Structures are given as structure tokens and as C-alpha cells.
Amino acid sequence: MTTRFTNEHEYITVDDKGIATIGISNYAQEQLGDVVFVDLPEVGKDISKGDEAAVVESVKAASEIYAPASGEVVEINEALEGNPESVNADAQGDGWFLKLKLSDAAELDDLMDEAAYQEYVKGL
């Protein structure tokens, strides 16, 4: 599985069945501080690339999470409702937000790979 990143610090990892897991990068959760609430979309919702997919609130700010690709929401991380701090503990693991059934995998082509993202973050 390859992980790609957006300029807005979302990540997307696609499995071999075309299901994409989306969340925020470790860098993003560090910038946000302690996450206190996550607002997730409904399962079955169609989301287009660039649309707001979720909202994450921290003690510092609220931030929209934008979809790095288009697809149908097939699962949300319900554990975040009672345990939003897992975003801080494991942003790119247990702290994922939602899963999409991708409608166009080619949309991932313009996203950064891990090395490019790390270089991007260094420049911030």
C-alpha cells in the first residue's frame, strides 16, 4: 500500500481492493494540538476530490479535512467519537477518519509521496 499526501496535510492510503483510508498526517496533528472532537461524514455519502470530508477540532482550532480523492464513504472511524485523542496518538494508524471506495484512482497521481511530503513539510 502506498500513502500519498496533500498540501493540506491529509493522507490517503489505498488497499488492493480500491478502498482508501483518509486522515491527517502526523505533522497536521502536531500543529493542531490536542484533538477534542472529530465530525465525520455519513456512510454512503459521495464525496468529490477537494470537498470537505470531515472536521477536526482541537484546543487551538477547528480545521476542515478535504477529500484527496473522489468516492463513496464506505466506513467511518466510529472510535473517534468517544476517543478523538487517538488522532494525536496515532494519526496515520488508529486515528484515521474515513474510508472511501475510490471512483477514480488516477486522482492520486498529483499527490505527494512520503519523501516529497517530508520535503514539503521541511519548507514550512
Q: Give residue limits of the domains in the chain.
A: 2-103
pLDDT 10s digits, 71-118: 999 999 999 999 999 999 999 999 999 999 999 999 999 999 999 999
Residue at 67: amino acid letter:
A
pLDDT 10s digits, 20-32: 999 999 999 999 9
Q: Tell me: pLDDT of 38 over 90.
A: yes
Helix (H, G, I), strand (E, B) or coil at 66: strand
Q: Which three cell numbers stand for residue 120?
A: 514539503
Of the candidate CATH numbers 2.40.160.40, 3.40.980.10, 2.40.50.100, 3.40.50.720, the domain formed by 2-103 belongs to: 2.40.50.100
pLDDT 10s digits, 40-73: 999 999 999 999 999 999 999 999 999 999 999 9
What pLDDT was estimated at residue 2?
A: 85
C-alpha–C-alpha distance, residues 118 and 50, integer Å: 21
18: left (phi over 0), alpha (psi -120 to 50) or beta: left
Q: Which of 53, 58, 65, 52 is nearest to 100 (CA)?
A: 53
Q: Tell me: pLDDT of 1 over 90.
A: no
Residue 63, strand partner residues: 56
Q: Which three cell numbers stand for residue 95?
A: 486515528
